Amino acid sequence: SAEYCITMCRHGESEWNQKNLFCGWYNANLSKKGHEEAKRAGKAIKDEGIKFDIAYTSVLKRAQDTLNHILEVSGQTKIPIVSTWRLNERHYGGLTGQNKVEAVETFGEEQVAIWRRSYDVPPPEMEPEHPFYDDILNDPIYKDGPPREKFPKTESLKLCIERSMPFFYSTVIPQLKKGKNVIIAAHGNSLRGIVKSLERMTPEQIMGLNLPTGIPFQYRLDGLFRPIGTMRFLGDEETVTKAIEEVANQTKKK
Ligand code: DG2
């Protein structure tokens, strides 16, 4: 039966990843390191000789800039790029803009771990008084959705999956079926959602999975779009291992 391959990449480190702030739908820029990571991701793609037919990304610039670096470095800027809010990071609600270590000090390690990694417990809602409420709601990047009355105030991973996977199945999968080579440049949690769905992971299994910034990974998929083997990271093993550990340690005091 048919076999498919899909490549994904979490954006490079953002300025808010660097400051260890909950980011969600805040439109943070890549940090200097993030730009470097994205270029290195492009180099890994180039070295493997991977050519894409179409690219998908979120409406957030950290993901778009990462994709652009990858396509530039690997010499394939002419391919179509589709951007959608459905691939955005999960909305971090009232936590948006808070320091992750300070959140642990305020709410306790257990509560913050639940907000960050539980499957279906969303963080507290973003209230209209929140410093970034208006900026996010009125940003023209959301002119094509979500509609005002459905605009998220917070999202669990489950809620994120409920708006990302319909897009994935209706738009990305048909491209794979046509034999197209696809890359998705997105976010820690929006990609964890796709990984959970592809791998049919339980809520407990996905809790333990953290994706590193700026390191592309690939799945081979069988005819029913089930993974053949585990995800394969592109790049040297040392970089990959170190990056995964860093994400896991974000709420530990240094
Ligand atoms: C991070 C993920 O998302 O945070 O929103 O702070 O991938 O867009 O940098 P990204 C954020 P954690 O769930 O790992 O705390």
Give per-residue pLDDT as tens, 148-168: 999 999 999 999 999 999 999
Virtual CA dihedral for 196, 201, 202, 203, nearest 10 degrees? Answer: -30
pLDDT tens digits for range 163-220: 999 999 999 999 999 999 999 999 999 999 999 999 999 999 898 888 989 999 999 9
Q: What is the CA(188)–ligand 1 centre distance, in A?
A: 5
Higher pLDDT, 231 or 50: 50
The phi and psi torsions of 244 (rounded to 5 degrees) equal: -65, -40
Q: What's the rounded mean pLDDT across residues 73-85? A: 98
Judged against a pLDDT cut of 90, whether residue 231 lies above it is answered with no
Judged against a pLDDT cut of 60, whether residue 50 lies above it is answered with yes
Judged against a pLDDT cut of 50, whether residue 87 lies above it is answered with yes
| Candidates 69, 89, 155, 187; catalytic one | 89
Q: What is the mean pLDDT of the chain?
A: 94
| Structural domains of the chain, ranges and CATH numbers in brackets | 4-248 (3.40.50.1240)
Higher pLDDT, 12 or 244: 12
Q: Ligand 1 pocket: which residues have CB below 6 Å?
A: 10, 14, 17, 22-24, 89, 92, 116, 187-189, 247, 250
Q: What is the CA(3)–ligand 1 centre distance, in A?
A: 31
